[in-house]
Amino acid sequence: MIEVKNIVKKFGAFAALDHVDLKVANGELVALLGPSGSGKTTLLRIIAGLDWPDAGEVSIDGENALAHGASERHVGFVFQHYALFRHMTVFENVAFGLRVQPRAVRKDEAAIRARVKELLDLVQLDWLSSRYPSQLSGGQRQRIALARALAIEPRILLLDEPFGALDAKVRKELRQWLRSLHHEINVTSIFVTHDQEEALEVANRVVVMDKGRIVQIGTPGDVYDNPATAFVHSFIGESIVLPVEVRDGCVELGGKPLNISADGVTSGASKLFVRRHDMAVGPAGSGAFEGAVRHVRTFGPIQRAEVALSAGEGTTVIEIDAPRDRELQPGDIVSLHPRRYRIFAGQD
């Protein structure tokens, strides 16, 4: 159980973390998701003891973590660029954490060997044990870094952009592997990523961060379907964004009223967010918007159409994903209706 309370961290005038609170329960696999500069890596490093907050509390299993340095926290940390010891073999890298233990609790050589072998088996790289890090592929380094972090039987496991430095194919494989590994060893884990797909696919719970604050915490389904802010909506999944005007619960686009409600949204300039696949296409005159189809591409079960909306003076071109039950043609005049949508007050 990790508890972070009211953490503040400043680098000069820049607030990297601005009053952050977070609780992670035992056995969870949590993703810290956000764009670069959102403070996610700083938060991870503070939990590990590699950085120190200017204010706030961190506790691990109810114990004040800030009373201890990184070497006493029993936190496994996997670095973005792995930070493997370049002058040691894979075996010695994994054994390091066991060899530096105080003499009183240090395992004997046979036990260390057994443990390292067990870990290398766990990450399926037993056959590489006498290689040096420079002789490994990126994916192999990643798994060795993980085995090394697990060697000290950490209370929690922290991973900084675990797939960031890998190419796309390896990344996909490792995602599934990490999820099943977590299932197997069940150690409380937090990983940092800027890739929403990665977060949604791997984590049990997603923590979305922006500008040093946590903006939403929820299951992957939650943050995708019910984004709490305009930022979350545009950062996670692809969205159609339209600048609209809200007046007493009614929505207008370019001065033209739309046939949708905006209950509970304050009047004024706002933004309408719709997922591409949530735009229902109907015959002209039946929906909220009218538009002319400009261009259609079909792939697999969907057709992606560019539609020019005529709204007030200007035209806005949006992209929608429609099922292929009704083929669209360039030049068609169609009516669009958002099945699900969100309106957020304000310009940004």
Partner 1 sequence: MSNGGAGRHSSLPGFGLTMGLTLTWLSVIILIPLAGLFLKSFELSLDQFWGILTSRRTLSALKISFGLAFAAAIVNLVMGMIIVWALVRYRFPGRRLFDAIVDILFALPTAVAGVALTSLFAQKGWLGAPLAELGIKVAFTPLGIFVAMIFIGIPFVVRTVQPVLIDLDAEIEEAAASLGANRWHTVSKVILPSLVPALLTGFALAFARAVGEYGSVIFIAGNLPNVSEIAPLLIVIRLSEFRYADATAIAVVMLVASFLIIFAVNRLQRWAQTRIPAHWRLIK
Partner 2 sequence: MNQPQILITSAREDLRTEPRIIRVVLIAMAVTFLTVFVVLPLVVVFAQAFSKGVFAYFSALSDPEALSAIKLTLMVAAISVGLNLVFGVIAAWAIAKFDFRGKTFLISLIDLPFSVSPVISGLVFVLLFGAQGFWGPWLQANDVHILFAVPGIALATIFVTFPFVARALIPLMQEQGTQEEEAAISLGASGLQTFFRVTLPNIKWGVLYGVLLCNARAMGEFGAVSVVSGHIRGETNTMPLLVEILYNEYQFVAAFAIASLLAMLALITLVAKTILERHLDEGQLPGD
Contacting positions for partner 1 (CB under 8 A): 45, 49-52, 69-70
**Residue 347: other Cβ atoms inside 10 A:** 10
89 binds partner 2 (CB under 8 A): no
Nearest to 320 by CA among 340, 305, 299, 342: 305
Of 101 and 219, the one with the shorter C-beta distance to partner 2 is: 101
Residue ranges of E strands in 62-154: 63-64, 75-78
Tell me which of 3, 19, 68, 96 binds partner 2, using CB under 8 A. Answer: 96
Of 71 and 266, the one with the shorter C-beta distance to partner 2 is: 71
What is the distance between the alpha carbons of residues 186 and 205, in angstroms, rounded to a whole number? 15
Q: What letter would DSSP give residue 134? A: G
Structure tokens at 277: 């696949």
Q: How far is the CB of 179 from partner 2 (least distance, A)?
A: 23
Of 49 and 133, the one with the shorter C-beta distance to partner 1 is: 49
Structure tokens at 245: 């005007």
347 binds partner 2 (CB under 8 A): no
What is the residue type of 165?
A
Contact 94, 148 (CB under 8 A): yes
Q: How far is the CB of 54 from partner 1 (least distance, A)?
A: 9
The dihedral built from the CA positions of residue 283, 226, 158 and 1, taken in this order, carries a sign that is: negative
Nearest to 345 by CA among 246, 237, 260: 246
Using the CB atoms, write b or e for 292-315: b if 16+ within 10 Å. bbeebeeeeeebebbbebbbeeee
What is the distance between the alpha carbons of residues 56 and 61, in angstroms, rounded to a whole number? 17
Of 48 and 253, the one with the shorter C-beta distance to partner 2 is: 48
The one of partner 2, partner 1, none whose footprint includes residue 52, by CB under 5 to 8 A per kind, is: partner 1
The one of partner 1, partner 2, none whose footprint includes residue 169, by CB under 5 to 8 A per kind, is: none
The one of partner 1, partner 2, none whose footprint includes residue 227, by CB under 5 to 8 A per kind, is: none
Of 72 and 173, the one with the shorter C-beta distance to partner 2 is: 72
Residues touching partner 2, count (CB under 8 A): 33
Compute CA 82 distance to the chain's CA centroid, rounded to the nearest angstrom: 19
Tell me which of 39, 97, 212, 291 binds partner 2, using CB under 8 A. Answer: 97
170 binds partner 2 (CB under 8 A): no
Tell me which of 24, 33, 34, 49 binds partner 2, using CB under 8 A. Answer: 49
Q: How far is the CB of 68 from partner 1 (least distance, A)?
A: 12
Of 53 and 220, the one with the shorter C-beta distance to partner 1 is: 53
Structure tokens at 38: 């959102």
Residues 138-157: x where in contact with partner 2 by CB under 8 A, - otherwise, as a string:
x--x------xx-xx-----
**Residue 108: other Cβ atoms inside 10 A:** 8
Structure tokens at 4: 């972070």
Contact 78, 145 (CB under 8 A): yes
Tell me which of 55, 85, 109, 185 binds partner 2, using CB under 8 A. Answer: 85
Of 84 and 322, the one with the shorter C-beta distance to partner 2 is: 84
Q: How far is the CB of 141 from partner 2 (least distance, A)?
A: 7
